Amino acid sequence: MKFSLLNRKTYDTERGRTTESNAIYDLLIDKLVGAFEPNYDRSENFLHLLREPPHPENILYRQGVLKDFLNNPQLMDDLRESFKSYDDMRRDWQELRSAMGTYSSLKTTAEFISNTLSHFSAVRELTERYELQSEGLNALKAWLLETSNDSAIRELSEICALWTRDNIADYEWQLNARLSETLRLDSVSVSSVAELTETSLLKRIFTKKTDYGAFDLGEFHSGEAHTMLSGAIDEVYFALTTIAGALYEIFRGLSAELDFYVTASNFTEYLRKRDMAVVFPDIVSSGIKITEVYDPLLITEGLSKEQIVSNDFKLGETSNLIIRGENAAGKTSFLRAVGISVIFASAGLPVCAGSANIACFRAVFTQFSKAETLSALDEAGRFEQEVRELSGIVHGELANSLIILNETFQSTSYSEASSAIVKILQRIERAGARWIFVTHLSPLLNAPPSSSSVAVMESYSLRSE
């Protein structure tokens, strides 16, 4: 795809790991998305994009496009339908030409190109109806305008308009033939079907001048004439097929990108209809500062605005954070609210808060205790599972990532758990990652897990019902 409404810059494959599925499921983002996006394919596409490593420029690029679509929802709907028909048109072209002879395939390909160019014109007229602010949509509008004024595109349209007759007998053909020294036919190309101008940029595709002169097909046996004409048509068909593929490639995948914005719009409207705060975050160089952040999962559980409690959160430029306290104090819900905000911000989405300044983390990794699914008799199994999950996190590229741990090793004795988790947090910090750890392990306060600043938030400081 040469044009994108999602990415201003293409992703560098060396940027690092993506946000893993554990984070999506631990934070219950899949459940949240299912509440506001009923379409399974769009939901899966949305979750897939949430896992991609973000680029700061792409975050702002997406924010701008989404703001335009939120202000002009009809434009988003019209573009989505338009580019879905664009994909359908290509699929029909491929199916039809695969079952046809050469000339019929040539005719079908020419029709596909004509329809593609007509599609470009229709989308240009659509975008010109709106005052757009985003870089992405304005770039689309500018490209379509430039294309409409391109002489090569106009000429291509004229060439495709030639192939409207039912069979080759309806045309007068002039061919260029190249013969070997033994007068065997080496190659043949179309000189003209209709007159083409000398200044034609595409003339070289359809005309090859030789030093061997012109031949009247009438001088040849009909079989040889048919061979020459078939070869010439094959060459034209190949040229148009190459052009058709290149034209489609310009906007390949754009319909899937627009599906992302449909789901993003559904998310925003889902919150606005319930009078919940939602804001586009400012992307900063480091740290996190969010005011009145809340857990959107509580909405899916039937809680009203009045029942949902918001809190403030801050993670300094160099600090990590321990959140400790008693059970049922709202620690997990608060942690989930922060994690969802970071992941959504990295995808260019608004967050559930009054205001937000959020750094662009390369990835988000989580380890949430599964105490709710394992009984007291399963403590050994739970510990082994937690060790496996943590091992999968720490044995990889962690630089500029955010690690969120919720009650990790809670089934182990205080002294053993504290010693183990301190070593893990030290390793995470040495790798260049930041961490937030919800725990009841009080010994951690007496044994700082790192040399950097470690902030402590007590659960009683959280606003609760």
List, in sequence order, every beta strand (DSSP E) within 346-431. 355-359, 364-368, 402-406
Residues 6+ apart with CB under 8 A from 250: 1, 2, 3
Answer yes or no: are the C-beta atoms of 464 and 330 closer than 8 Å.
yes
Two structure tokens written together for 83: 């580019």
User: Which pLDDT belongs to residue 441?
Assistant: 62
pLDDT tens for 201-213 read 444 445 444 444 4
The dihedral built from the CA positions of residue 108, 109, 114 and 119, taken in this order, carries a sign that is: positive
**pLDDT reading at 48 higher than 80:** yes
| Beta strand pairing call for 454-458 and 320-324 | parallel
Q: Is it the case that residue 384 has pLDDT exceeding 70?
A: yes
**Span 335-382, pLDDT tens digits:** 999 999 999 999 999 999 999 999 999 999 998 876 554 554 466 567
Dump pLDDT digits (tens) for 414-442.
566 667 778 888 888 888 899 998 877 66
Of 88-97, 256-265, 299-308, 386-395, where does the model show the most confidence? Answer: 256-265
**Percentage of the chain surpassing pLDDT 90?**
48
Can you give the C-alpha Rg of the chain in angstroms?
Answer: 31
Q: CB of 213 within 8 A of CB of 170?
A: no
Nearest 10 degrees: Cα torsion 337, 60, 432, 287? -50
CATH fold, domain 274-461, is Rossmann fold (3.40.50)
> In terms of pLDDT, which residue wins out, 131 or 329?
131
> Average of pLDDT values for 110-135?
95
> Is 450's pLDDT higher than 70?
no
Find out whether 311 and 293 touch, Cβ atoms under 8 Å.
yes
Q: Would the pLDDT of 288 be above 90?
A: yes
Mean of pLDDT values over 371-395: 68
Q: Which residue, among 70, 150, 78, 79, has the nearest Cα to 117 in the 3D structure?
A: 150
pLDDT of residue 114: 94
Q: What is the mean pLDDT of the chain?
A: 82
Question: Which range, of 30-39, 58-67, 198-207, 388-397, averages the lowest pLDDT?
Answer: 198-207
Residue whose C-alpha is closest to residue 365's, from 51, 48, 12: 51
Say which residue, 220 or 89, is predicted with more confidence.
Answer: 89
Using CA atoms of 281, 284, 287, 291 in order, give the dihedral in degrees to the nearest 10.
-30
- State the CB neighbour count (10 A cutoff) for residue 167: 10
Hey, where are the domains in the chain?
1-6+54-257, 274-461
Strand bridging mode 355-359 / 288-293: antiparallel
**Per-residue tokens: 144:** 């379509």
Type of residue numbered 241:
T
* b (16+ CB within 10 A) / e for 376-386: eeeeeebbeeb
Q: What is the pLDDT of residues 126-138, one digit of tens each?
A: 999 999 999 999 9
Residues 187-215 have a mean pLDDT of 52
